[in-house]
Structure 1
């Protein structure tokens, strides 16, 4: 695979890895959440990221054949940070929600960067755009949840 293409594939693999990590992080947050609505929100987000993973992985394999299937080191650190944060804040729902918002904002930036790639296959670009819209929509909705938890 040529270097430019490999770089793009690496960036797409990073998005896939971070979605896997987000899925696990949301599941962990759901375990720690005290508020029933927030617990349901985190469970829903975990399931959504699982669906993102399936769809994106399918398109990446169709476009590039081999895809790395390991979780990212930074995602593991993020989940560990959420565990520490939950421990020190007494499983504070507001802190977990703020951390989830921070993670989704970072995801939006990564998705936008990948969409600027000129060699992005149209089928992969479509999936990335659809997932980006969903993440942005959820970020807008979560502001009302943040007000309820505060």
Structure 2
């Protein structure tokens, strides 16, 4: 197992996780006026993201790497787009929920790609697989809401 590839893959996931945390900060409180039942799930997603971040930093350090504790360029562009879109959107809560679903799907894809790459040792793969399970669970909750609006 190549430590450089492992560290690089884990740093990519750290960037994605930081994107999630930053994206969650964009969710406006008004969303919960219309979707109060999701507030607990959302709070759990934020808490899990922070735990995932800690796990990733720990694994990077264990593999002799330096954690790139930043966000991705794609994530920054997406958050900028959310800001622009919300400026012109009539229903910010629905637009925000669409962005949560989009962001969770992107995170799922990145985590799955990391597992498929085989750049992770078995211990890291187990942790990333567990993270992926949490991502899919949160995605499913918000996707059901998104589909019910269609």
Matched ranges for 1:124-143 at <5 A: 124-143=124-143
Contact in 1 for aligned 2:13/2:56 (Cα 8 Å): no
Q: Which residue of 2 aligns with 1:47?
A: 47
**Which residues of structure 1 form unaligned runs of 5+?**
none
| SS in structure 2 at match of 1:64 | coil
**Paired position in structure 1 for 2:77:** 77
The SS at the match of 2:63 is helix
- Structure 2 counterparts to residues 44-123 of structure 1, below 5 A: 44-90=44-90, 92-123=92-123
**What SS does the corresponding residue of 2:76 show, helix, strand or coil?**
helix
Runs of 4+ in 1 over 6 A off after TM superposition: none
Paired positions, count: 148
What TM-score, normalized to structure 2?
A: 0.81
Q: Give the Cα separation in 2 of the matches to 1:72 and 1:147.
A: 28
Structure of greater relative contact order (alpha carbons < 8 Å, 6+ residues apart): 2
How far apart are residue 119 of structure 1 and its match?
Answer: 3.8
Could you list the runs of 5+ residues in structure 2 that have no partner in the other structure? none
For residues 134 and 47 of structure 1, the distance between their equivalents in structure 2, rounded to whole angstroms, comes to 11
User: 9, 12, 25: which is aligned to 1:14?
Assistant: 12
What is the root-mean-square deviation in Å for CA atoms of aligned residues? 2.5
